Amino acid sequence: MIPKLSAIILTTLSVVQGRKPYGVPLPLAHSLIAQFPKPSWIENIAVRPNGDLILTQLTVTPEITNVTLYTIPRPFSPSPSPVPVHTFDGITNLFGIAESATTPDLFVLVGGNIPNSSSAGLYLVWTIDFGSRHNRPPKITQVTHLNASLPNGLTAIPHRNAVLIADSFAGLTWHVNLATGVTSIAAQAPEMSPPLGSAPGTVGINGIKIFKGCLYWTHSALAIIYRVRLDADGRRVQDAKVETVAKLNATFLDDFAIRDDGIIWATTNSDNTLVAVQHETGQSVVVDGAAGELTVLGDTAAAFGRGRDDGCVLYVVTCGGLRSKDEAAVKEGAKVVAVDTRGFEMPKQPEPSK
């Protein structure tokens, strides 16, 4: 049975901290927030200042030629449920989404149709303004075209009216000026590219976040988290070295969230696990899920709550196991899972090996 969110928070509070290596027992307590009909693929998640979740999706049914952005109002309420916000006609995929750094409650997202050849696709960047439209549908504005090969994670540049967008096949990060619509390359590195000689469709850079002046990213195929220093405009500092933050024991890495204390919460999609990573030491531990287990089956991205009571809750979204190449592997509808991270900490010293 899946405990309700309030119940899991109480359970965690009752744990005496400091006796367990991670402060709390693993796996972390979790509960189901919402699930979509099968087949479905939630690709990314952002959280409004009022705590409502926003979900992007990929269309996985070939006949369908549109895609709907969803919100889950009050995910911490007793019976949260998804509500459609907007359907994009003629667009089949919505990828990364993030709140603008300069306008609260205005979100930026990237989407388009994946071309079926190896040629570059033409994608679009929109803003969706929830903030200035009290009790009316949010206003959607097309900002610009993006000539990316495969847009993926998106993050706002602090104090700038601009975002960065990962390009998984081109092995680079785009800079998009939201005021002018001008796109340019902010960072490019071999550590962002699919490995040399890898099969077409192999994903390099995937999720991106800016933390303490560095761009952090997951490399999907290598299961490595990297970082590189950025300047104030969000561009790679010239000659800045790409550093390896952590090499994970996974076959794939998808998007991630970074908690204020620097712990990285990474999703592994077809590995069905949620992994916590210490950004200073590269130490990592699986906190939820396992091969063949449903808890976070096909987890694609994660974000922390912003409501009054759910700042310690990590909302993990999934694709229901659709990435698995194994026809016999279990599949389900995409879902949103709340993971209670309260009290979790990385041990100061690595655990002695057994």
Ligand X SMILES: *[C@@H]1O[C@H](CO)[C@@H](O)[C@H](O)[C@H]1NC(C)=O
Distance in Å, CB of 354 to ligand X, minimum: 11
Distance in Å, CB of 28 to ligand X, minimum: 17
**Residue closest to 123 by CA, chosen among 63, 190, 169, 55:** 169
Distance in Å, CB of 39 to ligand X, minimum: 15
When the beta carbons of 6 and 249 are compared against ligand X, the nearer one is: 249
CA distance 268 to 255: 8
Quick one: tokens of 169?
Answer: 């096949």
When the beta carbons of 78 and 84 are compared against ligand X, the nearer one is: 84
Distance in Å, CB of 117 to ligand X, minimum: 7
Degrees, nearest 5: CA angle 145-155-153: 70
**Residue closest to 254 by CA, chosen among 243, 265, 242:** 265
When the beta carbons of 115 and 213 are compared against ligand X, the nearer one is: 115
When the beta carbons of 132 and 251 are compared against ligand X, the nearer one is: 251
Distance in Å, CB of 55 to ligand X, minimum: 16
Degrees, nearest 5: CA angle 106-108-112: 145
Rg (CA), the chain: 19
Verify cis geometry, omega within 30 degrees of 0, for the bond prior to 39: yes
When the beta carbons of 66 and 81 are compared against ligand X, the nearer one is: 66
Binding footprint of ligand X on the chain (CB under 6 A): 64-66, 87, 89, 116, 120, 147, 249, 291
The DSSP 8-state label assigned to residue 79 in this structure reads S
Quick one: tokens of 225?
Answer: 């988290």
CA distance 321 to 267: 13
Distance in Å, CB of 113 to ligand X, minimum: 7
When the beta carbons of 104 and 181 are compared against ligand X, the nearer one is: 181
β-pair partners for 98 = 108
